[in-house]
Amino acid sequence: MITLFDPKTDIDLGTPARESQVQITLNIDGRSISVPEGTSVMRAAALMGTTIPKLCATDSLEAFGSCRMCLVEIDGMRGYPASCTTPVTEGMTVHTQTPKLATLRRNVMELYISDHPLDCLTCSANGNCELQTVAGQVGLREVRYGYEGENHLEDVKDTSNPYFDYDPSKCIVCNRCVRACEETQGTFALTITGRGFESRVAAAGGENFLDSECVSCGACVQACPTATLMEKSVVELGQPERSVITTCAYCGVGCSFRAEMKGDQLVRMVPDKNGQANHGHSCVKGRFAWGYATHPDRITKPMIRKNISDPWQEVSWDEAVTYAASEFRRLQQKYGRDSIGGITSSRCTNEETYLVQKLVRAAFGNNNVDTCARVCHSPTGYGLKQTLGESAGTQSFDSVMQADVILVMGANPSDAHPVFASQLKRRLREGARLIVIDPRRIDLVDSVHARAEYHLALRPGTNVAMLNALAHTIITEGLQDQPFIDARCEGNDFARWSEFVSRAENSPEALAPVCGVDAADIRAAARLYAAGGNAAIYYGLGVTEHSQGSTAVMGIANLAMATGNIGREGVGVNPLRGQNNVQGSCDMGSFPHELPGYRHISNEVVRAQFEQAWNVTLQPDPGLRIPNMFESALAGSFKGLYCQGEDIAQSDPNTQHVTAALSAMECVVVQDIFLNETAKFAHVFLPGASFLEKDGTFTNAERRISRVRKVMDPLGGKADWEGTVALANALGYPMSYKHPSDIMDEIASLTPTFTNVSYAELDRHGSLQWPCNAAAPDGTPTMHIDQFVRGKGRFMLTGYVPTEEKVNNRYPLLLTTGRILSQYNVGAQTRRTENVAWHDEDRLEIHPTDAESRGINEGDWVGIGSRAGQTVLRARVTERVAPGVVYTTFHFPESGANVITTDNSDWATNCPEYKVTAVEVSRVYHPSEWQKRFQEFTDEQHRLLKERRGAKAEVRR
Ligand code: SF4
Ligand code: SF4
Ligand code: SF4
Ligand code: FES
């Protein structure tokens, strides 16, 4: 039975909702209805349960009025107006079903069908095709016109896109795909070529889909009412039979999806139009790149080995966790309680992250727990806590639709947060103004119908100088919001700060040479931000991953407070979190100094609550951060690690330092879905579960907690939380959760910002934004409305201290790193999908001037050397980067981008300075020495994996 669509939520009302205080009352087919002014007749009818046939209309797109299927009769109006483009008026009387209308609609449908293949029974859309449905609705029984005349039935299919086909023979030229690409996605990759009968959909430029501007978001496929644009997976597997609502496991946007299933096989992921973060939109990763979940590289059996040069032995879960526990206890007996620790994952659920930190604190008996946020947004946590009092973004994504000025700093939303980028671009098309502060000419600087008014292409490492220059302009030109400051902020701190930023040394003129940006542009951008209406800041890792990352975050918060741009819709300070659950992993107490809810471990009252609930004594001092774990391992005092769902050997800086530290440990336990780079140094491998195989929750960048729902059984036999429970029990610390909802109940009972969160409430609301407690039972979309979480906002001094990483004659260029749309983080998932069609290797972007002076041409192999190491990549010569700056992504382990990055880190949080590395680049013909060693080691580890044995473990000490 087809049980795909919930009529309460999935019904297509034909045209978008309108908001208005004015209600219009009209009569449709003898019944009265009131709807907001601006609503279409079609939507009004649909709201009262009357279906008007339609083809070119859908409620995610503005009406177009081309198919003439939705004609109605309206008293007092001549002819037969299209209900999708006709707005309601007071007292209007509409007839949707008359004999004349039935004839007209049948005639129109007859024309469509006369140029459409009659292969419904074998068509991949059979049973889920709007053309087929509408043909049934209008009662079409025969087609009077044959195929003798001109038609499009022989038009050639475009199968170039790895995920969907375009079959023009089935196209009814309804324009929905073109509008979806424009309105929903904002890429404008499609067009209708020709006129009348010659009209055809084409990827702009007349290229095939793969070679066009198309970014494969799937919006056009979603909008297409026929089988013209169709997922290859549906063509191959057939129409799905049921669906489960879940949350994307890639980026921090946290899109909601319907996982559409046939039996226990995933057929497609369809963005959920009720999704509160994505409103039915998606990007190529969440929509299509899920094939990794069943990739043959998945490791589904626990494995152990004594040394990393030994072949793996497959064992039972019991044997694996018993062995890991005995090793951890042995290490603690020999080297002390603090000789082991754990790393939680921002890819795992809140419940799983909570359990790992609980295991470390309660079963290991120390606070040596950290998370990958250490290497991305830890400065956000610190900087926002100091200034605003809460370590999280202040707004919902939807808030951007109220912004008049949008400042994007050190972030590239079109690649890293694509669905939010589409929303942002929509707001820009409506007239909002844009400032981009980034060394690179990111897409937003100059995209279709959306341009940055100012692109401040600052030199990497000068964010704080730039923020001070902006603040100087605001204060010295009197652009601050003094009433807001007086009412909402600490007066003494403001006085100190305003005196500091007003100094001549912080003027744009003084700092322009430091930043490499014209002083006049800095002043103009500051004026726009301060005086342009609602101004919102969105920032990313280009702000945090610096030696002054925390200072820059505080500088951003200072700007927002000084201009009163905080505490309402359309404004705020918004960190764009990279991974799906990086907000959640921080919230869940993954840092060595903080228990869940960002409460310091030294706080006796808080500690006592956890001690009572967990029935243990907790250590009062913070444990080791990830970099400290590495240093202690190299010093011989840190010997064992439980690493769930993170690949520190690829993602952390100075790879050779990290791998040396891992090699120095005696028991590395990795829980993951693939043998990742870290697992090559592991002694115990516990098979991880993909997001499709478990229940739980993720928390996105807007503090939105959304359900992750299991659609298939874990391939490795256990969800990740069950693996942690087994390990805790083997360590002698009892855990007895039956379901992740039990874990969430415990989190809610111990975390003041989560007290009203439960699976029942999440199911009821769809999602909830924390704080969600007695004071805010339905969650908190906008923070700091009447007062800051810390009471009064606190301006912090942000003296600019240049990074120690300096260019010189030997290393004259600055390397900065980032992401690309089609790949995700360390690439372990996306590299195992068809997304490699767009990006199958990391490349080094270099400005033509720098390339020419080094004799480097497009596609040449180039060696990149820094003080930390050397690697070799292929060059891409582009003006996207400024002279003196080079750029690469870090999605492929063999690229060794992090062999180059150094140990420098943020002064407050140790977040690595990924964004500034002094390098030299030269043309080469061979891989680097590191790459050769990497390849040998990788080959050896693959051999050991291939030769793994199923024998009983014989490695117990
Ligand atoms: S491809 Fe689909 S959505 Fe686009 S015009 Fe053709 S039928 Fe309409
Ligand atoms: S997949 Fe997205 S970007 Fe590509 S044509 Fe369709 S809507 Fe446009
Ligand atoms: S924008 Fe992020 S959350 Fe949404 S589908 Fe893409 S990767 Fe997933
Ligand atoms: S649905 Fe109204 S004209 Fe096509």
Please give, one letter per residue, the 3-state secondary structure of 806-832: CCCCCCCEEEEEECCCCCCCCCCCHHH
Say what the pTM is: 0.93
Cα 725-727-728 angle, rounded to 5 deg: 65
Strand order in the sheet with 73-74: 31-36, 23-28, 93-95, 73-74
Q: Burial of 854 by CB count in 10 Å (0-12 exposed, 13-18 middle, 19+ buried)?
A: middle
Cβ 821 under 6 angstroms from ligand 2: no
Cα 492-495-497 angle, rounded to 5 deg: 110
Q: Which residues of the chain have pLDDT under 50?
A: 1-8, 951-957
Residues 181, 640: Cα–Cα separation, whole Å: 50
Residues 189, 228: Cα–Cα separation, whole Å: 17
pLDDT value at position 111? 85
- Spatial neighbors of 637 by CB under 8 A, at least 6 apart, are 335, 336, 338, 339
Contact at 8 Å (CB) between 280 and 422?
Answer: no
> Which residue among 61, 132, 166, 177 has the greatest number of ligand 1 atoms within 8 angstroms of its CB, and so is best to mutate?
177
SS3 196: helix
pLDDT value at position 280? 95
Residues 394, 712: Cα–Cα separation, whole Å: 35
Q: How many helices and strands, by DSSP H and E, does the chain display?
A: 31, 36
CA 219 – ligand 1 centroid, Å: 12
Contact at 8 Å (CB) between 171 and 193?
Answer: no
Identify the CA nearest to 448 among candidates 136, 794, 182: 182
Nearest CA to ligand 3 atom 2: 251
> Which residue among 158, 207, 216, 419 has the greatest number of ligand 2 atoms within 8 angstroms of its CB, and so is best to mutate?
216
Nearest CA to ligand 2 atom 3: 214
Contact at 8 Å (CB) between 17 and 62?
Answer: no
Residues 285, 186: Cα–Cα separation, whole Å: 17
How far is C-alpha 158 from the geometric centre of its chain's CA atoms? 29
φ, ψ for residue 201 (rounded to 5)?
-80, 135
Strand pairing partners for 536? 406, 572
pLDDT value at position 110? 86
Residues 856, 852: Cα–Cα separation, whole Å: 6
> Which residue among 179, 184, 185 has the greatest number of ligand 2 atoms within 8 angstroms of its CB, and so is best to mutate?
185
The percent helix, strand, coil of the chain (3-state, each to 5) is 35, 20, 45
pLDDT value at position 654? 81
CA 267 – ligand 4 centroid, Å: 30
Cβ 175 under 6 angstroms from ligand 1: yes
- Spatial neighbors of 332 by CB under 8 A, at least 6 apart, are 339, 340, 364, 365
CA 283 – ligand 2 centroid, Å: 9
Cα 446-702-825 angle, rounded to 5 deg: 65
Closest ligand to Cα 825? 3
Q: Burial of 100 by CB count in 10 Å (0-12 exposed, 13-18 middle, 19+ buried)?
A: exposed
Cβ 899 under 6 angstroms from ligand 1: no
pLDDT value at position 199? 80
Atom in ligand 1 nearest the alpha carbon of residue 166: 1
Residue whose structure tokens are 């000419």: 441
* Pairing assessment for the beta strands 405-409 and 433-437 based on DSSP bridges: parallel
